[in-house]
Structure 1
Amino acid sequence: MSVRADARITAVRDGRGVTTLPVLESDGPLALRRTRAALPGTARVTVVGAMSAPLGGDRLAVEVRAGQGARLTVDSAAATVALPGPEDVPAHYGIALNVEEGAELNWLPEQLISAHGSELLMTTTVELAPTARLMLREEQVLGRHGEATGTLLSRLTVRRCGRPLLDQQLAYGPGAPGGWDGPAVLGGHRAIGQLLVVDPAFDDKGPETRLLGSTAVLTRLQGPAVLVTALAADARDLRSVLDRTAAGLAGHAIS
């Protein structure tokens, strides 16, 4: 039997300048927990998987709003594993992020693993106000150890000031367009990740497009944003690349 589950997070800044969480709602396999934030006055929420999901036929949704001036980090306790289910239909996982004026959102989940036989359609949509700041990390691992990947279709759409900043779609596994695992695309790598950083400070001065090794690149986007895209042999190597880059950007991006 398929599962429908929703989670909602709202972060606001109170009169003392502290970020609070007036809305923290979840059900089914999506359990939300307040956890210790790294900096005073900020908030952190960790997504804890309460059951195996997403399975074929499941529909999961997460909605996050960082209100004006709020500072919020959302992470997860463990990797998300897409698994085949009793129904021969795809699972759907939708994420909607809204970052208002002067707010900061760090969206830092653990890896998404596409297990053999699974089929997942994942969409992430982001709406940013002109003075909003965002750090968004996505990591995808194609197959568990020693197994072939499932089918994964992932789309990321980011709008700033109501206008498109980034709109991309990735597809891997059975049914994906031919060549996805060839030398011109993955070249044998099974871990794919990206780090998107948006900060108004980049309007004046920000990092320029450059290679970050043989399988990673930092691209300056139109607007105050950079996108890091990386391939790696496994999840550990991928995280190492993205963490090093995030640390390098922190000096003139998100603290």
Structure 2
Amino acid sequence: MSAPLGGDRLTLDIAAEDRAELEVTTAAATLALRGPTTEAAIYDVRLTAGEHAHLRWLPQPLISAAGSNLRQTYTVELAATARFVLREEQLLGRADEEPGHLVSRILVHRAGRPLLDQHTAYGAPEPGWDGPAVLGGHRAVGQLLVVDPRLDVPRDPVLLGEGTKDGGAVLAPLEGGPALLATAVAPTSSALRELLDEAHAHALTH
């Protein structure tokens, strides 16, 4: 969708009740654009999974177009026995353009306790967002969160895509829950998706 525009306020509230299985995606990428005001657009996604539910949030990428200003928040509430997958893909600018200002937060609680609180910010006026310590010149960035009671075993962090020119990812366990988080950067959307798919497969088979 060609939204949100500057000044928009959008909210999605999605729940998988006890023992339900739900997968949510989008038909096309979400395009954040400059609006009639310089005020930030607000995009809130609230996800809830009940006992023994399985919720998968797998949208197409979010594109931060030049001049846009977007603040996006995921608020997730999981029951202790819920399974959950969240894939977030962000493309910073279209072809040959600088990105807009994109601020994103992922806040996850499991069984009423904090599991993840991650904050990222890209584009001007954020300092150093494109430097070697953050994106290193890449323009595609994403996260994959997998929460599953079956993952409650010791795991070591894993590097994926190391030694290639197509970016890389790290898959690491989260303290406080049977959960793995992959963070990836890549030069293109397709390379990013491959890294996140590899991380997902690794999470479920190792």
TM-score (norm 2): 0.94
Question: Which structure 2 segments of 5+ residues have no match?
Answer: 163-167
Work out the CA distance in 2 between the residues paired with 1:145 and 1:71: 37
1:52-63 aligned within 5 A: 52-63=2-13
Counterpart of 1:248 in 2: which secondary structure? Answer: helix
Matching residue within 219, 223, 226 for 2:180: 226
Partner of 1:43: none
Question: Which structure 1 segments of 5+ residues have no match?
Answer: 1-48
Structural RMSD (CA): 1.2
- Are the aligned partners of 2:33 and 2:68 in contact in 1 as well (CA < 8 Å)? yes
| Displacement of 1:245 | 2.1
- Are the aligned partners of 2:72 and 2:103 in contact in 1 as well (CA < 8 Å)? yes
Work out the CA distance in 2 between the residues paired with 1:225 and 1:247: 14
| Displacement of 1:251 | 4.0
Partner of 2:29: 79
| Displacement of 1:210 | 1.5
User: Any runs of at least 4 consecutive aligned residues in structure 1 with deviations exceeding 2 A, and if so which?
Assistant: 205-208, 247-252
Partner of 2:110: 160
TM-score (norm 1): 0.76
Q: Please tell me whether residue 122 in structure 1 is matched to residue 72 in structure 2.
A: yes
Matching residue within 200, 206, 211 for 2:149: 200
C-alpha deviations, 1:181-211, integer Å up to 9, x for none?
11111100000011000001112x2642121
Q: How many residues align?
A: 200
**Which one has more relative contact order, counting CA pairs under 8 Å at least 6 apart?**
2
Matching residue within 193, 196, 199 for 1:242: 196
Q: Highest Rg: 1 or 2?
A: 1
Work out the CA distance in 1 between the residues paired with 2:19 and 2:9: 31
Work out the CA distance in 1 between the residues paired with 2:179 and 2:204: 13
Work out the CA distance in 2 between the residues paired with 1:220 and 1:71: 24
Matching residue within 37, 57, 64 for 2:14: 64
Work out the CA distance in 2 between the residues paired with 1:65 and 1:199: 17
Counterpart of 1:123 in 2: which secondary structure? Answer: strand
